[in-house]
Chains A and B, each alone.
Chain A
Amino acid sequence: MSKPLPQPDVVTRHFWSICKEGRFEFQHCEACGHDQFPPRLSCTACHGADLGWRPSSGRGTVYSFTAVHRAPLESFKADVPYVIAIVALEEGVRAMMNLREVDPQDVTIGMPVELFFEPTEGEYPLPQARPRQMYPSETLKIIMNSDS
């Protein structure tokens, strides 16, 4: 049994095809300015249908996380422990991703992460996250923000 894979449909086809190009995009409501993810047919704020797509910088922070020790499916058993995180992208939307390239013990809420695209057994890669090295100016910005 393989892992559940992305299954593009009329609402998500754009998202997944852009993933193949190495970009993560979320929906933006042209009427009220609301940003949303996962993709929908209409805006969850004003229920209008005039939705466009905006690219994410690929930078975000860990909003919450868990290290999974008991896999829900046979296909994930070889991966335990693996980290599932809810990543808050700097544009304001949140998405679930696995956090790679980190010891589960070292993950903290607020940890800076960056997106990357991981190949799957299927046609589409999955957006994933890994710890992000911060530039000194960015570190300074975070320190200043945490003071305010």
Chain B
Amino acid sequence: MASKAVITGVADTAVGKVEGSTSLGLQAEAAAAAVADAGLSLGDIDGVLCAYSFTEPHLMLSSVVSEFLGIMPSYSVAVSAGGATACAQVMQAAALIEAGICRHVLAVCGDNRLTGMSRDKAVAALSEVGHAQFERPYGIGIPAAYALVAQRYMHDYGVTPEHLAGIAVATRKHAMRNPKAQMRQPITLEDVARSKPIATPLRLLDCCLISDGGAAVVISAADAARDTRKRGIEILGAGQMNTHEHIIASPSLTDFGCKQASAQAFGRAGVKPADIDVAEIYDSFTITLLAELESIGFFARGEAGPAILAGALDLDGALPCNTHGGLLSYAHSGAAGGMFHVIEAVRQLRGEAEGRQVASPKLAFVHGDGGILSAHCSLVLGRN
């Protein structure tokens, strides 16, 4: 069997409100920094995987980014799977490398959703993912679609608004240790309960941020990685599952493809959920993380909420999770939001997560979900 691909470089830009930023500029800055982090030069990159942009959309974004960077990759394509994009980029890069097609793949994303468009425009653009004929005429938006999941999940498994609020509070606690995070002021369960209702049961503090920011990762062949600056982080396993796009067509409102995607990734890595030392899991809403933690098998049904209130996701908890502050408190700038999770996992495994370092982790789990828990991609990363 061919050696597994390794992550050799990671970088993200400043996040939050980045005045004067552009989507292309954020992507280029992140790309150059990730390549430098690997100790490579842009000329070493022979594969480019881009994502998508709201503020500078283009039919061939990957070509646009390569042209802007001044590189001529032999493989280049844009990946578009919503919040699953970043993990899917890494999974695809690993496949390209393990197939011998590329040596060093750049996976890059970035958008200036906060300063480049109004909050109303961003929310309206996101609402377009609703089914044109059978959802959008009813006033659906992404928070409302996740709220439909939350309401049913609460009904079936005894989850309470306080359990969801516990996720927002735990994630903020992580962000407070991260000087780069967009939101660092402490919040309490009461703050979440008193924040503006968005779509019941979800309140403002149950919802992810809207941010500017870019993120990039370099994935390299194992033999090529010997020349890089830092010890490579191995991509031990990856998996995907795609069950639907629109919430109206979801087979279930409580059981999602993250179960099969993660099972594939764990299986390919030869590990179990209990072996994971640190997890970085998509948290577009508090319910997203809760449903994923329980569907993936980190907690039994109905048990994540109470465990999280007791500190399970904290640095010294059973499963340190979203240690950078997640989409809820670190930043969410489109596809880059999911890439921040990948980058944090790598930093944790390298021991570079200053001030928020989990004690010598060996295995990290990363998960992204796109749509309304529609497209799922999981990664198991390891320090070799």
**A interface, CB within 8 angstroms of B:** 3-7, 9, 12, 37-38, 63-74, 76, 79, 81-82, 84, 86, 94-98, 104, 109, 120, 126
Contact = CB atoms under 8 A, between A and B. Distances in A.
A4 B130 CA distance: 11
B196 A38 contact: no
B133 A3 contact: no
Contacts of B151: 64-66, 109
B296 to A, nearest CB: 22
A73 B138 CA distance: 11
Contacts of B229: none
B139 A69 contact: no
Nearest to B244: A44
Question: Which one of A5, A38, A86, A96 has the greatest number of beta carbons of chain B within 10 Å?
Answer: A96
Q: From DSSP, what is the main secondary structure of chain B's interface residues?
A: helix
Contacts of B120: 74
Given A73-B127, A96-B134, A67 B200 contact: yes
B141 A72 contact: yes
Given A68-B144, A73-B127, A95 B199 contact: no
Contacts of B149: 64
A69 B206 CA distance: 14
23 contacts: A5-B137, A64-B148, A64-B149, A64-B155, A64-B253, A66-B151, A67-B200, A68-B147, A68-B199, A69-B198, A70-B143, A70-B196, A70-B199, A72-B139, A72-B140, A72-B142, A72-B144, A73-B139, A84-B144, A84-B148, A96-B135, A96-B140, A109-B152
A104 B200 contact: yes
B248 A95 contact: yes
Contacts of A120: 137
A6 B199 contact: no
A73 B149 CA distance: 21
Nearest to A15: B133
B126 interface: yes
Question: Which one of B131, B147, B202 has the greatest number of beta carbons of chain A within 10 Å?
Answer: B147
B197 interface: yes
A120 B148 CA distance: 24
Nearest to A128: B138
Given A63-B152, A64-B152, A73 B133 contact: no
B200 to A, nearest CB: 4
A36 to B, nearest CB: 9
Question: Which one of B124, B138, B202, B248 has the greatest number of beta carbons of chain A within 10 Å?
Answer: B138
Nearest to A126: B137
Contacts of B202: 66
Nearest to B253: A64
Interface string B73-108: 000000000000000000000000000000000000
Nearest to B135: A96
Interface in B166-190: none
Nearest to A72: B141
A86 B155 CA distance: 14
Contacts of B150: 66
B132 interface: yes
A96 B137 CA distance: 10
A14 to B, nearest CB: 13
A103 B120 CA distance: 27
Nearest to B154: A109
Given A4-B137, A67-B199, A71-B139, A38 B124 contact: no
A67 B142 CA distance: 13
A86 B296 CA distance: 25
Given A71-B139, A74-B124, 12 more contacts: A12-B133, A38-B133, A64-B152, A65-B148, A66-B200, A70-B199, A71-B141, A73-B124, A86-B253, A96-B140, A98-B139, A109-B155
B123 interface: yes
Nearest to A16: B133
Given A64-B149, A69-B198, A84-B144, A95 B134 contact: yes
